[in-house]
A and B are shown apart, each in its own frame.
Chain A
Amino acid sequence: MSQRSAGSQRGFTQPGALQEFCSALGIDVPQYADLQWVVEEAVHAPVPQGWSEQRDADGVASFVCVSSGAFSAQHPLDAVYRDSLAVIVRLRREGRSGAAYSAAVAEHLADRRREAEEYLEAWYAPEVAGDAPQCYYSEGLKAVSWLCPAARWEEELSVRWRVLQCAGGGAPGPPPGGPLRLAEPPAGLAQRLAGGSSCVPGAALNTINVDMPRTAGGDDEVTALLGTIRSMCVQRAAEDPELSYCQGMGMVAALFAVSSRCEEQAYARFSGYIWRLRGLWLPGFPLLVAGAALFEQLAAGRPWFQHFEQAGFEYNMYLPQAWLALFQTWLPRQARQLLLPLLEREGLAGLLATSLAVLDHLEPWLLQLEDEEDLLMGLQEFRGRAPDPEGLVEAVRAWLPRARRGALLRAPAAAAAASGAEPGSPALAAALAAEAAGLPLRRSQAALLRAERGQEPALPARPRRSKTWAAAAASAQSPGGAAEHLAAGAQAPGGAEEPLAAGAQSPRGAAEPLAASGSAGAAAAAGGLAPAAAAGGGGPAVLGGAGAAAAPHARRSQRALARSDDGEGSSRR
């Protein structure tokens, strides 16, 4: 929804702010006291469908349009109410009343409607297969939405019409012009979208929708950000059809959302992190299997690990929850947030070091748990028994050198290999560049590299134990090359040259992951979130940057959530 701010930067969301608002417009307050109801209505207006409200640590509210990513520091309808008030005041000053007033209002509405129609010209409702939810697609904005973009314009027009009509003494009713329409989808759009460019498949969207309400784990701050978290997951799934959405990613998105300054930053960090470690969530969970083998090597000497082995307590019972959901079940949020920069920087080594440090801390208690069943039940107590965050960070740092070496053991000498090879073809050059940049390789690229280096394809050797996840990895029908490639490399104990998860297990430490994350972020901004600014009409604002009053928005928050749930339900047709 566009922000046509007609007054001060300050929202009039505080009760009694009419005076301030009117002064900013140069309006004589007593003269327009009859318009108090408009302000009151604005203060109590629910967040429109498709918008989500969140509050930062200081309780300052901000709003994000879930479908377009548009960000606003003010309630999305504030501008509409403010603009309507300005129109009323202008018309009164011009001395228009009766038919003249009505004509001016009709003209104003017609202008706004034209604006809506222009915006909607870019939106299509492509045909979706079966009972998949209807999604909406904008070619120009390269944006996907599962809320009809016409709906919010209709809401805006209806607010304007009602306010202007009532202020002029007229009867409220539906705004003139009838329902807004979307553009006709061009021929072949459905096929193109099904080709995987940027439409999220219905099944993934359904899972995201079903998961969102149970992503916060009772954390109010995360709950307030669910709209943002959902849009992060949808955007990520649209950009990476092979990975799409996997359960656990929502909790990763949640941690980035609460730890970031603004939505753009949250998405860039989230997407970069997922990109580096995407083998954790790919079908078959190849990086989990590979990482678990490293974990077991590193843990081999620890008493708790020997205890685990004696009890038959296997990694597949505790590592997936930790790694695929950024330790949500292991650590309180404060500790996870403190660790997050380190985890972003270190990739797999960070996950290894954190897991080992936490289990070291829990050792005295773990050793008291007698058997597998006790250990399984004990998992639920991990978070309550977590070490203090600062101490944990120290312990993780202490583990890092070994964890990095472990990760290095299997990582490719990518840079050396790349510099030694003649770029025989553009395809080879691309493969080398991808490898050097730490990007997952396509199967054809991996084969090309192996052929170039005269290597045999890696044998998919068995991991040491715990076949469950490994078997899943082996049997998973992964559509793309990255999964097999990762899995094959991961399970080759001696495969030092095998380009295993080059991105995930960076040999170059801090510098490169930052670059990788940065480029992913840039790509995200270009491909996904840039439309937010276009759609919103405003620049990227900073969460919590505006001095909007928190209290009325806090009251709205519950309704906002309820509304967004309704929206979710109605989008599933």
Chain B
Amino acid sequence: MASEKEKDQYDYLFKFIIIGDAGAGKSCLLHQFIENRYKKGSSHTIGVEFGSKIIHVGGRNIKLQIWDTAGQERYRSVTRSYYRGAAGALIVYDITNRDSYNHLVNWLQDARTLARADTSIITVGNKCDMKDKRAVTFLEASRCAQENDILFLETSALTGEGVEDVFIKVARVILNKIEDGLIDPNTMVSGTHTGSQRIGSDSGGEAMSSKTCSC
């Protein structure tokens, strides 16, 4: 069975979602994280895509199962069901596209209402290699993240700058919550099911809402 495989040698399994406006670079970010290189000639995402990787954080092997979603508004009705049970959420915007930053609050609201109540959220300002076209400053995004009590990093899916940090940072926060007893790892994801199947089995996650953590 699969238990012998390397892919199952891990201590914890975290479900992540990547959301944000179309063209912010969500798929490229995922690809850079998984493959350690930029995805050339990529296509835009239809529905959802998936990737997984084991990372080492705080002496633990943590497996990340990451759902990458389509950014267009029309797909939101569909991608929303993939939020459920996510321990981590990456809200990606494009630092050269003001609109994608302005929509952050909508995505944040979606993540807060549809994922776990204690989901650790990071906002990711992508395309930081395009400094000459920057439309959102580091400072204001950083301040906005602080006000909303979420993490913040800038990345370049092109060069890889900051990409791994994003995933590690979120995983570390979740790990801390587990070690502090704020999250029961048994309520974490144990599969890659879509939201539709999780509705019934997610009562553990719902019960967590009373123990909401600061993030």
Residues of A within 8 A of B (CB): 131, 203, 206-207, 210-211, 214-219, 246-248, 250-251, 281, 283-285, 312, 314, 316-317, 320-321, 324-325, 328-329, 370-373, 376-377, 379, 466-469, 471-472, 475-476
With A283-B74, A468-B196, A476-B77 given, is the CB distance from A211 to B46 under 8 Å? no
The answer to whether B77 and A207 touch across the interface, beta carbons within 8 angstroms, is: no
The complex places the Cα of A146 from the Cα of B48 at a distance, in Å, of: 31
The complex places the Cα of A215 from the Cα of B65 at a distance, in Å, of: 26
Whether, in the assembled complex, B210 has its beta carbon less than 8 Å from a beta carbon of chain A, the answer is: no
Known: A317-B48, A466-B196, A468-B195. 13 other contacts (CB 8 A): A215-B43, A218-B40, A219-B41, A246-B72, A247-B46, A312-B193, A320-B47, A321-B47, A370-B1, A373-B65, A379-B50, A467-B196, A468-B194
Whether, in the assembled complex, B187 has its beta carbon less than 8 Å from a beta carbon of chain A, the answer is: no
The answer to whether B192 and A376 touch across the interface, beta carbons within 8 angstroms, is: yes
With A206-B99, A316-B194 given, is the CB distance from A472 to B78 under 8 Å? yes
The answer to whether B46 and A468 touch across the interface, beta carbons within 8 angstroms, is: no
The answer to whether B191 and A372 touch across the interface, beta carbons within 8 angstroms, is: yes
Distance in angstroms from B63 CB to nearest chain A CB is: 10
The complex places the Cα of A467 from the Cα of B198 at a distance, in Å, of: 11
Whether, in the assembled complex, B81 has its beta carbon less than 8 Å from a beta carbon of chain A, the answer is: yes
The answer to whether A214 and B42 touch across the interface, beta carbons within 8 angstroms, is: yes
Whether, in the assembled complex, B37 has its beta carbon less than 8 Å from a beta carbon of chain A, the answer is: no
The complex places the Cα of A250 from the Cα of B65 at a distance, in Å, of: 29
The answer to whether B23 and A217 touch across the interface, beta carbons within 8 angstroms, is: no
The answer to whether B74 and A247 touch across the interface, beta carbons within 8 angstroms, is: yes
A471 contacts across to B, CB distance below 8 A: 77, 81, 196
Partner of A210, one of B23, B48, B194: B23
List the A residue with the shortest CB-CB distance to B31: A380
The complex places the Cα of A316 from the Cα of B51 at a distance, in Å, of: 16
Whether, in the assembled complex, B142 has its beta carbon less than 8 Å from a beta carbon of chain A, the answer is: no
With A131-B99, A372-B193, A468-B196 given, is the CB distance from A324 to B46 under 8 Å? yes
With A321-B46, A377-B50 given, is the CB distance from A314 to B194 under 8 Å? yes
Whether, in the assembled complex, B70 has its beta carbon less than 8 Å from a beta carbon of chain A, the answer is: yes
A selection of 10 A-B contacts at a CB cut-off of 8 Å is A210-B22, A250-B44, A312-B193, A320-B46, A320-B47, A324-B47, A372-B192, A466-B196, A468-B194, A471-B77
The answer to whether A472 and B46 touch across the interface, beta carbons within 8 angstroms, is: no
The complex places the Cα of A206 from the Cα of B24 at a distance, in Å, of: 12
A248 contacts across to B, CB distance below 8 A: 46
The answer to whether A373 and B42 touch across the interface, beta carbons within 8 angstroms, is: no
List the B residue with the shortest CB-CB distance to A250: B44
The answer to whether B43 and A214 touch across the interface, beta carbons within 8 angstroms, is: yes
Residues of B within 8 A of A (CB): 1-2, 7, 22-23, 40-52, 65, 70-75, 77-78, 81, 99, 191-197
B192 contacts across to A, CB distance below 8 A: 372-373, 376
The answer to whether B78 and A211 touch across the interface, beta carbons within 8 angstroms, is: no
List the A residue with the shortest CB-CB distance to B94: A210
The complex places the Cα of A312 from the Cα of B49 at a distance, in Å, of: 16
The answer to whether B41 and A247 touch across the interface, beta carbons within 8 angstroms, is: no
List the B residue with the shortest CB-CB distance to A465: B196
The complex places the Cα of A467 from the Cα of B77 at a distance, in Å, of: 12
Distance in angstroms from A393 CB to nearest chain B CB is: 24
A206 contacts across to B, CB distance below 8 A: 99
Distance in angstroms from B5 CB to nearest chain A CB is: 8
The answer to whether A247 and B42 touch across the interface, beta carbons within 8 angstroms, is: no
The complex places the Cα of A284 from the Cα of B41 at a distance, in Å, of: 28
Distance in angstroms from A125 CB to nearest chain B CB is: 21
Closest A-B pairs by Cβ, 10 of them: A218-B41, A210-B23, A472-B77, A320-B47, A376-B50, A467-B196, A472-B78, A217-B43, A247-B72, A468-B196
The answer to whether A373 and B52 touch across the interface, beta carbons within 8 angstroms, is: yes
The complex places the Cα of A216 from the Cα of B47 at a distance, in Å, of: 18
The complex places the Cα of A376 from the Cα of B68 at a distance, in Å, of: 12
The complex places the Cα of A266 from the Cα of B41 at a distance, in Å, of: 23
List the A residue with the shortest CB-CB distance to B73: A203
The answer to whether B77 and A284 touch across the interface, beta carbons within 8 angstroms, is: yes
A216 contacts across to B, CB distance below 8 A: 41
The answer to whether A373 and B7 touch across the interface, beta carbons within 8 angstroms, is: yes
A325 contacts across to B, CB distance below 8 A: 43, 46
The answer to whether A215 and B44 touch across the interface, beta carbons within 8 angstroms, is: yes
The complex places the Cα of A234 from the Cα of B215 at a distance, in Å, of: 42
Distance in angstroms from A172 CB to nearest chain B CB is: 30
